[in-house]
Amino acid sequence: MYSIRFFIIIHANKLEMEPSGYELLKMETKIDGLEKELSILFDDFRLATNKDAENEKLRYDELEKMSFCCLQLLEMYREYTRKLKK
C-alpha cells in the first residue's frame, strides 16, 4: 500500500519537475522544422510560378500551403516566447 502511494508521489513530482529547457528544445526543433518546410514550399512556389504562369490553381494551392505553414510557425514562436518568459 505504501509503495504504491510512494510511487504515485514520486511520479507526480517527476512530471512537475520536467525541465523547461527540454520543453524549449522540443519547441526549437519544431520551429526549425517549420522554417525548413516553409523554405521548401517557397522554392516550390517559385519554380511552379516560373514553369506554369497560366495555372492559377497550382499557384493558389502552393500559396495556401505556405500560408498554413506560416500560421503554424507563428503559433510556435508565440508559444516559445511565452514559455521563455516564465
Q: Is 60 exceeded by the pLDDT of residue 75?
A: yes
Q: How many helices (H) and strands (E) does the chain have?
A: 3, 0
Domain assignment of residue 31, given as a range = 19-85
13 is a domain residue: no
CB-based contact 24:84 (threshold 8 Å):
yes
pLDDT of residue 57: 77
Over residues 11-65, the pLDDT tens digits come to 444 445 555 778 888 888 998 998 888 888 888 888 776 666 567 777 788 888 8
Q: How many domains does the chain have?
A: 1
Residue 6 reports pLDDT greater than 60: no
Q: Determine, yes or no, domain membership for 78.
A: yes
Residue 11 pLDDT: 47
Whole-prediction pTM: 0.64
Burial 52-66 (b: 16+ CB within 10 A, else e): eeeeeeeeeebeebb
